[in-house]
Amino acid sequence: MKSLQFDYQLPRYIFSKLTGRFFPSIYWHSRLSCLKFYEESEPNLPNDHWVKVKVKYGGICGSDLNLLFLNDSPATSPFVSFPFTIGHEIVGEIIETGSKANHVNIGDRVVIDPILSCAARGIPNPCSSCRKGDDHLCIHKTEGNLSPGLLIGACRDTGGGWSSCLVAHKSQVFKLPNEVDDLNGVMVEPFSCALHSVLRNPPREHDAVLVIGGGVIGLCVIAAIRALDIGCHIIALVKHDFQAQLASQYGANDTILLRKTTYINDLANALDAKILNPLFGPKVIQGGADLVFECVGRKQSINDALRFTKNGGKVVLLGLGGILDGIDWTTVWLNELEVKGSFAYSTEEYKGKRVRTFEIAIELMRAGKVDLSPLVTHRFPLEEYRMALHTASNKKNRSAIKVVFEPNP
């Protein structure tokens, strides 16, 4: 089968790190980078609790680009096993089932929750997080009967979405109803990330909510708030005009373009906040949003999230920021802000029940509360991975939102 794998090799890593900033295409050069295009045998089912999935679409995520651009913190390296096939946004079709994976059948259309927690790893006594349904916080990500790996797309034993097929544990597999097409299916995973952050940090009806970032996660946060019928006032800070249009389409009340000379005044006006002038350095903001969802993970975006949050407010970090210098944490203690991380998906309190985030996402799509298929702007076969990655990393020039691979056209 065809696959795109990441294989850490120190000489390639160093060469790419030194030259990639000047020639970005080096990061996916087949002979110079850690990314490799392979023809290999299909993965085998680890045991009878697993299924094999033929990939229909495999999404390119911001975290995948962070990996390829070698921006990940070394703190994540114990939770991968090389070489691994990249890709954790997956919609596909069941082509093989183990004898104990009896809730799905060959031919079923499915999406995959990629987290490799205690259940997938065959650990008989689940950790306390998994017992609570918080599989994303599992403490056994390097143990059990699988190689280390936080998720499918970072474990050498499972394959990933950037391939023709992969294997998944039965607990990771969710069937799609007829009402949810494949393009929405590939968006279930990023939408679940956004849903998790909103359900764990729900805005109040009269809150001013700032969403920083007009990429997939920022747009999905806006869509999640509206799909859950929360009537707060949403302000979106985005980089490009086409992102502003989509933010409005999915329910933002105001959209502010990230223009260096104007966005601070525009955002302060939208939030009814005051701009104060320090002796030197960036403007100081008095007032701001009740709740900020930071969906970029860069120095500027995190600094903006902190300074545009009102006294006693909350900042939720979804942008996967790593090692960043120059973050000014003054407002956190000065204004008693709550800063909360948000990672992946879990089991949520929803309508009085404990429900997996993926199930909620699928149900909202099935009920017509949200349609994310327009966010899939570009599709490529695996063989055209250079063009796909160039498109995904040059969003403005291509008006790209979600770029996906189509390994089995």
pLDDT in tens, 174-230: 999 999 999 999 999 999 999 999 999 999 999 999 999 999 999 999 999 999 999
d(CA 155, CA 141): 10
Query: pLDDT tier at 158 (50, 70, 90 boundaries)?
Result: very high
Q: What is the pLDDT of residues 90-108, one digit of tens each?
A: 999 999 999 999 999 999 9
pLDDT tens digit string along 122-153? 999 999 999 999 999 999 999 999 999 999 99
- What pLDDT, on the 0 to 100 scale, is given for residue 282? 95
The amino acid that residue 313 corresponds to is: G
pLDDT of residue 323: 85
R_g over Cα of the chain: 21
**Exposed/middle/buried for residue 9 (C-beta within 10 Å: 0-12, 13-18, 19+):** middle
Q: How many CA atoms lie within 13 A of 316 on its CB side?
A: 28
pLDDT at res. 31: 84
Specify the amino acid at residue 237: L
Share of the chain above pLDDT 90, in %: 94
- Do β-strands 254-257 and 233-238 pair in parallel, antiparallel, or remain unpaired? parallel
b/e burial code for range 188-224 (CB count within 10 A of at least 16 → b): bbbbbbbbbbbbebebeeebbbbbbbbbbbbbbbbbb
Separation of alpha carbons 301 and 392, rounded Å:
20
396 confidence band (pLDDT: 50, 70, 90): confident
325-345 confidence digits (pLDDT tens): 999 999 999 999 999 999 999
pLDDT for the residue numbered 254: 98
Which of 272, 313, 282, 293 lies closest to 213 in space, CA to CA? 293
**92 φ, ψ to 5°?**
-165, -165
Q: Is the sign of the CA dihedral 71, 76, 77, 80 positive or negative?
A: negative
Q: Which of 87, 89, 104 is nearest to 173 (CA)?
A: 104
pLDDT > 90? residue 320: no
CA–CA gap between residue 306 and residue 324 (Å, rounded): 14
Q: Residues 296, 215: contact at Cβ < 8 Å? A: yes
What is the pLDDT, as a whole number, of residue 370? 98
307, 285 in Cβ contact below 8 A? yes
- What is d(CA 142, CA 148) in angstroms, rounded to the nearest whole number? 4
Burial of 84 (0-12, 13-18, 19+ CB in 10 A): buried
Using one digit for the tens of pLDDT, what is the confidence trace for 31-76?
899 999 989 899 999 999 999 999 999 999 999 999 999 999 899 9
- Tell me what pLDDT residue 22 has: 92
pLDDT at 148: 98
- In which element (H, E) is residue 364 found? helix 357-366
> 36-40, 294-298, 299-303, 372-376: lowest mean pLDDT where?
36-40
Beta strands in 8-114 (DSSP E): 35-39, 50-59, 84-85, 90-97, 109-112
